[in-house]
Structure 1
Amino acid sequence: MTDTAPILFDRRLLAQRQARAHTAGPESFLLDRVAEEMDDRLHAVLRDFQSAADVWTPGAALPPGRFASIQHVDLDAAGNEALGLAPGSLDLVVSALALQFANDLPGVLAQIRRALKPDGLLLAALTGGDTLMELREAFATAEAEVEGGVSPRVAPTADLRDLGALLQRAGFALPVTDVDRVVVRYDHAFALMQDLRRMGATNVLIERRKTPLRRATLTRMAQIYAERFADPDGRIRATFEIIWLSGWSPHESQQQPLKPGSAKASLEEAVKGLLPK
Structure 2
Amino acid sequence: MNDLFDEALIARNRARALARNAPGSDFLLELTARELADRLSLVERRFEDAVELFGGTGLTAKAALATGKIERLQRIETDAAFGEEGQAVLATNYESVPLEPQSVNLILSPLALHLTNDTPGMLIQMRRALKPDGLLLAAIPGAGTLAELRDVLLAAETEIYGGASPRVVPFADIRDVGSLLQRAGFALPVIDEESFTVRYDHIFALMRDLKAMGMANPLLGRSRRPVSSRFFLRAAELYAERFADPDGRIRATFSIVFVSGWAPHESQQKPLKPGSAKMRLADALDPTRRDT
Same fold at TM > 0.5: yes
Verify: 1:86 aligned to 2:100, yes or no: yes
Shift of 1:110: 0.4
Q: 1:73 aligns with which of 73, 76, 84?
A: 76
Structure 1 match to 2:3: 7
Structure 2 match to 1:95: 109
Shift of 1:246: 1.2
Structure 2 match to 1:184: 198
Q: Which whole-Å deviations, capped at 9, do the CAs of 1:2-52 have from their partners, x for residues lacking one?
A: xxx421001111111111111111411000000000000101111111210
Q: Root-mean-square deviation (CA), in Å?
A: 2.1
Structure 2 match to 1:212: 226
Structure 1 match to 2:289: 274
DSSP 3-state at the match of 1:274: coil
- Determine if contact 1:174/1:247 at 8 Å carries over to the other structure: yes
Q: Which whole-Å deviations, capped at 9, do the CAs of 1:143-185 have from their partners, x for residues lacking one?
A: 1111211111244443222211111111100112111101000
Instruction: Report which structure shows greater RCO (CA 8 Å, sep ≥6).
Output: 1
Structure 1 match to 2:175: 161
Distance 1:25 1:255 in 2: 45
Q: Give identity over the alignment, percent.
A: 51
TM-score scaled by length of structure 1 = 0.91
- Determine if contact 2:77/2:92 at 8 Å carries over to the other structure: no
Distance 2:248 2:156 in 1: 20
Distance 1:136 1:106 in 2: 25
Unaligned runs of 5+ in 1: none
Distance 1:82 1:200 in 2: 19
Distance 1:244 1:133 in 2: 19
Distance 1:266 1:128 in 2: 37
Q: 1:38–1:155: structure 2 CA closer, same or farther, 3 Å change rule?
A: same
- Determine if contact 1:119/1:249 at 8 Å carries over to the other structure: yes
Give the length in aligned residue pairs: 271
- Determine if contact 1:11/1:78 at 8 Å carries over to the other structure: no
Q: Segments of 4+ in structure 1 off by > 4 A?
A: 76-80, 265-271
Shift of 1:79: 4.9
Q: Which whole-Å deviations, capped at 9, do the CAs of 1:185-205 have from their partners, x for residues lacking one?
A: 011111111111110101100
Structure 2 match to 1:19: 15
Verify: 1:195 aligned to 2:209, yes or no: yes
Shift of 1:265: 4.4
- Determine if contact 1:10/1:79 at 8 Å carries over to the other structure: no
Alignment map for 1:111-130 (pairs within 5 Å) = 111-130=125-144
Q: 1:186–1:259: structure 2 CA closer, same or farther, 3 Å change rule?
A: same
